[in-house]
Amino acid sequence: MQLMEMEERLIGFDTTSVNSNLEMVDFLESYLKGLGMQVLVDTSPDGRKANLLATLGAPDTGGLMLAGHMDVVPVAGQAWDGDPFVLRPSDGKYYGRGTADMKSFIAQAIQSVEAIRHRKLTLPVHLAFTYDEEVGCHGARHLMDELQRRDHVMPKCAVIGEPTNFKVFRLHKGFSSARVTVTGVEGHSSKPAKGANAIYQAALVIQKLMEVEEERKGRRGMEDLFEIPHTTLSVGMIEGGTALNIIPNHCEVKFEYRTMPGEDTAYVLNQIKGYVSEVLLPAFKKQHQQVDIQVEETGRGEPMITAQGSEIELLDLELTGVARSGAAPFYTEGAIYNEAGIPTVICGPGDIDQAHRPNEFITEEQLQKGLPLIGRLIERVCMS
């Protein structure tokens, strides 16, 4: 299958994270088996989705892993000029959901393996395609657990083809999220002292979060690598109260924060937990014994840190002609692969500015550029 034909097929699967991706997995499984690859389909706990690991060459040795996610972000509410799941060429660009993020890399990786499939490999090449990257990287985690459970030999290095315009990234921040739930006591708004206002307490939590945010801003590092060289924090959602004249007995605040490599990914959360248990809750309880404030972590992803000077970093820099690697301004599965002991860099076609937007596209130039690059990468890691 030619690159464009594969691209068209892949864009045609509506693999929005909320949907099943099994149709795409079935297609790839039979296609890759047809190329002589060994295929492992790793099904999600609910059975609706799957990861796919396809291997060309001896599976009992390390090798190069070309990795990407199959899911895409929703198109609902976005103004597209055409069907997002039909590849649409125009003016040297190809439009469609997933063209940048990141089915073009998947098409290129498959095409590159197809081109070398009759040559002799000293180390295997793996294609690792995952589900649910966009909603918490659940697929990559499941795949690594499954490989460890099977005592599978881990790849010796990996490239994730997220859209970087073929720049090379070896670092990114962590991504953590949390929820604060305040339980107060209802009452008539004309008699505030009879109740316990949950929204007021939530406001104090937010104020504390803003203080922690300021404090983290003062702690900068790796300024040459990160556009925003400090941990960031954002309160994204708040919900509470039922009517103007009722003292609210419930308020929920959700926040996320992105931790710089080298810092503790629980730092922000622990600051809030400490403040709530030592300061806020004791004072709140004086208003009413039935009140409560719960702080829960809802997600935690470690930063990605691939050591400077790793074999895969140097090789990717050489092949792309990029002078030095940098830090990705987004979270990836690379942190999970690194944790599994696989040195990983991020380098792929397309522009992250296109990702998640209506009329997402990839340029013809970025589409074609990947093939020789990935081909040489396979040669250098798997054939020398």
| 24 membership: H or E segment, kind and range | helix 22-34
Taking CB under 5 A as the rule, does residue 304 contact Zn ion? Answer: no
Stretch of residues binding Zn ion (CB under 5 A), selected from 77-85, 101-109, 185-193, 272-280:
101-109
Q: What are phi and psi of 233, to 5 degrees?
A: -145, 140
What distance in Å separates the CA atoms of residue 128 and residue 293, rounded to the nearest whole number? 42
* Of 74, 40, 71, residue with least CA distance to 137: 71
Stretch of residues binding Zn ion (CB under 5 A), selected from 98-106, 235-243, 275-283, 336-344:
98-106
SS3 213: helix
Closer Cβ to Zn ion, 29 or 162, answer by number:
162
Closer Cβ to Zn ion, 184 or 326, answer by number:
326
Closer Cβ to Zn ion, 64 or 102, answer by number:
102
Mark whether 133 is an active-site residue.
Answer: yes
Least separation in angstroms between residue 73's CB and Zn ion is: 8
Mark whether 134 is an active-site residue.
Answer: no
Q: CB–CB of 108/370 below 8 Å?
A: yes
For the segment 151-210, give every residue that binds Zn ion (CB under 5 A): 162
Q: 114, 133, 213, 316: which is the annotated catalytic residue?
A: 133
Quick one: which of 40, 102, 128, 137 contacts Zn ion (CB under 5 A)?
Answer: 102
Stretch of residues binding Zn ion (CB under 5 A), selected from 58-66, 102-110, 124-132, 228-236:
102-110
Q: 71, 162, 313, 360: which is the annotated catalytic residue?
A: 71
| Sign, CA torsion 115/117/120/121 | positive
Residue 67 β-bridge partners: 128, 160
Quick one: which of 14, 42, 101, 316 contacts Zn ion (CB under 5 A)?
Answer: 101
Whether omega for the bond prior to residue 37 falls within 30 degrees of 0, making it cis, is: no
Residue 157 β-bridge partners: 64
What distance in Å separates the CA atoms of residue 195 and residue 189, rounded to the nearest whole number? 8
In the complex, which residues of this chain contact Zn ion (CB under 5 A)? Answer: 101-102, 162
Catalytic amino acids?
71, 133
